Amino acid sequence: MVSIDVWNASVDFPIFDAKSRSLKKAVLGKVGGKIGTEQKVPIIEALHDISISLKEGDKVGLVGHNGAGKSTLLRLLAGIYEPTRGSSRIVGKIAPVFDLGVGMDPEISGLENIMIRGLFLGMSRKQMEKRVDDIAEFTELGDYLQMPLRTYSTGMRVRLALGVVTSIDPEILLLDEGIGAVDAAFLNKARARLVDLVDRSGMLVFASHQDDLLFELCDTAIWMDEGQMKQRGSLREVLTAYKGKDPFAHLDQEALERLGEPPVLTSKSGEV
């Protein structure tokens, strides 16, 4: 059973500046009082009192301004940050796709990076070798996979990262905004795979500023503001509140039907 539960969790980052990060203050500071002890380290409260319970089949979009805590929340959900206060429990195989520049080695080939990512996500070498062809086909990178990663464009890196996470049958998929860098054709292909994946056995949390991507992948949403959950509800409700207007309003009829949304918000059709 796949689930993520977070109880009253806060994430506080200590900011060690050059002075307080060194031993100098901790050791020398002993002379003459409490200058430069732990309490003097400034703290950034990135997340404050978050309680979420996610279960199988949830497709959640994260919206909010820059610095609202979306990425930090994703890392909390991934178990990378354990809450400094409160607690969390994560059950399931996690596949995160965060900042695409990091976590990949630019000097080694795409194939090697596929292997390392796969191993990190709990695959064995044999299992990954079986999947490499599938990933190569899906990403359409072909011979480029032999090239060092530094020769890749951002979109190509996204393809690679998405290729890996969608091929390993993860249960919890956490995507940060970077994946918008791929072209429309590939995004369509990826969407089919992601939707299929979530339907089969999973959960998706997706932070994005692009409404169209959110429409395609998510049905509920969380609005993050200044490290707190400001609103949680259906994607349309939250986006309407966040943007101040119904983002579905200007979609054409065909798109609305595909997404299974009524032309106007709420059941009270006719009035918005």
Partner 1 sequence: MPATATAEEQAPPTHRESRSWGRAWEDIAEGVKQRELWGHLGWQDIKQRYRRSVIGPLWITLSMAITAAGLGLLYSQLFGSPIGTFLPYITVGFIVWNFILGCLTEGTDTFIRNEGLIKHLPAPLTVYALRMVWRLTLMFAHNMLVYFVVLAIFWSYLTTPGYQISPGGLQQPGLSWNVVLAIPAFAVLAFNGGWVAILFGIISTRYRDIPQVIISLTQLLFFMTPIVWTTDILTRVGPDGGGRWRVLVAELNPLYHYIEILRAPLLGNTQSWHHWAVVGAFTVLGWAVALLAMRNYRARISYWV
Judged by the rule CB under 8 A, the positions of this chain that interact with partner 1 are: 5-8, 13-14, 16, 21-24, 26, 51-55, 58, 75, 78-84, 86-89, 94, 96, 98-99, 102-103, 105, 107-108, 112, 115-117, 119-121, 124-125, 229, 232-233
Between 129 and 257, CB nearer to partner 1: 129
CB of 263 to partner 1, least distance (A): 26
What is the distance between the alpha carbons of residues 202 and 197, in angstroms, rounded to a whole number? 7
125 vs 268 by CB, closer to partner 1: 125
Closer residue to partner 1 in complex, CB, 98/206? 98
Q: How far is the CB of 252 from partner 1 (least distance, A)?
A: 32
Closest distance of CB 89 from partner 1, Å:
5
The tokens for 23 are 């031993």
| Of residues 22 and 151, the one with the C-beta less far from partner 1 | 22
Q: H/E/C letters for each residue in the chain?
A: CCEEEEEEEEEEEECCCHHHHCHHHHHHCCCCCCCCCHHHCCEEEEEEEEEEEEECCCEEEEECCCCCCHHHHHHHHHCCCCCCEEEEEEECCEEEECCCCCCCCCCCEHHHHHHHHHHHCCCCHHHHHHHHHHHHHHHCCHHHHHCEHHHCCHHHHHHHHHHHHHHCCCCEEEECHHHHHCCHHHHHHHHHHHHHHHHHHCEEEEECCCHHHHHHHCCEEEEEECCEEEEEEEHHHHHHHHHCCCCCCCCCHHHHHHHCCCCCCCCCCCCC
Between 242 and 251, whose beta carbon lies closer to partner 1?
242
In whole angstroms, how close is the CB of 105 to partner 1 at the nearest point? 7
Q: Which residue is listed with tokens 């206060």?
A: 85
Cβ closer to partner 1: 93 or 189?
93
Give least dist CB 264 to partner 1, A: 23
Least spacing, CB of residue 79 vs partner 1, in Å: 5
In contact, 52 and 60? CB cutoff 8 Å: no
Nearer to partner 1, 119 or 249 (CB): 119
Least Cβ distance, residue 231 to partner 1 (angstroms): 8
